[in-house]
Amino acid sequence: MSPDFAITLVYIGYALAVLLTFGAILTWVERKQAAIMSDRIGANRAYLRIPFTQVKLVWLGLFHGMADGLKLLLKEDFKPVTYDKLGYALGPWLAFTPVVLVFAVIPFGGTLDPGALFPSLADWFDGRTYPMQIAPLDAGLLVVFAFGGIAIIGAMLAGWSSSNKFSMLGALRAGSQLISYELVMGLTVLGLILIYGTVDLDAMVRHQSGTVLGFLPAWGIVYQPLAAILFLTAGIAENKRIPFDLPEAESELISGYFTEYSAMKQGMFMLSEFIEIAIIAALFTTLFLGGYNLPWLTDAGFVFPGGATFELGHGAVVAIQVVTFLAKVFLLCSFQILIRWTLPRFRWDQLLGFAWKFLLPLSIANLVVTAVAVWALT
């Protein structure tokens, strides 16, 4: 096993662990946060009983997610009589896989020097360093959008192959909604690409490591505040959650494009929705909130503006970066949940009008202004 391969395996394991943990934890966070926002207590009854004792672990209702998972796994996997068995079986996977794969290009930490971390392995690694990113691709951002496109196919295929009118309507809505908002998303990040001059996500994050005007962190949101708002809006719409949950609109379409799915297949749609919350948050963090960067933190430690420095070892820096990234992602997830429990759902014509008549012109205006500014400054 070559060192590169070993490091990539470790990264993949880390990414899967983080994503699935986020998927599981967010179901709990969503319940609890919604409850606290509305003066309620929230799910707090499921417990694990330590065998042979009467000690019940409740842990603020953390085990409700586990109970849900068990229930989904043990339920009957009902299959409708459909003309397209393959499409029906493929749907959940096409909705789930691309969401997880997006994380491959997101940098979740700075540069890792395994030789410095584990001196006993220093010979094997031979001084090589690795960016903390599963696939350090030059075309990172393009990969993100390509996978976003595949997720549309998953939703449409699931709806179409269920041979159910509600699913079909949901799929049509999903298709038009996702395509509209994908466009807005693409146009908003074009401004960032102009500023950073790259689509490599790791290079983008490195660009955001300094400060502007001496005190503001040089994060994307400082350069492109409007783009940040538009991106987050489009991201939530991509995720098909309230206020943009028309493809699944329970009050109109039962469950929209996954009406005919049951048991763990339906669970995969739900899980991919929760993981996508984390993915949107991770993308937003990477593009607009400086990724793993903390202000004044460099690879050698903190360097404060006054000239004071605070030396840190390599292990400490790596740990701080990873934790910073996770903390930012978690805060953004919480913000998305706040939005989901605050706003009412759009009407269908309002939804498309919002994308095409409001967000799209704004993002184009943002792009033009950015282009002129970049041209004038260089």
Partner 1 sequence: MSSRKPYVRKRYWNEPEMGWYERSYFFEIWRGIRITGGVFLANMWKWMTGRKGALTAYYPEEIRADYAAHNRGKHILTQRPDGRPQCVACNMCATVCPAQVIEIDAAFDPDDPEHPKYPSRFEIDYSRCVFCGLCVEACPEDAIRMVKETPDLPGFDRGRMWLKQDELLNWQPKQDVAKPYPAAGAGRTRGAP
Residues that bind partner 1 (CB under 8 A): 33, 35-41, 44, 229, 338-339, 341-343, 354, 358
Residue 17 or 41 having the CB closest to partner 1: 41
Residue 75 or 357 having the CB closest to partner 1: 357
Residue 216's Cβ-side half-sphere holds a number of Cα atoms within 13 Å equal to 9
Burial of 17 (0-12, 13-18, 19+ CB in 10 A): exposed
**Tokens standing for residue 29:** 């966070």
Residue 44 or 129 having the CB closest to partner 1: 44
Residue 327 or 372 having the CB closest to partner 1: 327
Shortest separation between residue 42's beta carbon and partner 1, angstroms: 8
Residue 12 or 46 having the CB closest to partner 1: 46
Shortest separation between residue 36's beta carbon and partner 1, angstroms: 5
d(CA 284, CA 282): 5
Residue 203 or 339 having the CB closest to partner 1: 339
Burial of 76 (0-12, 13-18, 19+ CB in 10 A): exposed
- Tell me the sheet residues that pair with 211: 217
Shortest separation between residue 185's beta carbon and partner 1, angstroms: 17
- 109 near 82, Cβ under 8 Å? no
H-only helix segments in 75-164? 85-101, 114-117, 122-125, 140-161
Shortest separation between residue 40's beta carbon and partner 1, angstroms: 5
Burial of 43 (0-12, 13-18, 19+ CB in 10 A): buried
Shortest separation between residue 228's beta carbon and partner 1, angstroms: 12
Shortest separation between residue 355's beta carbon and partner 1, angstroms: 12
311 Cβ neighbours under 8 A, 6+ residues apart: 300, 301
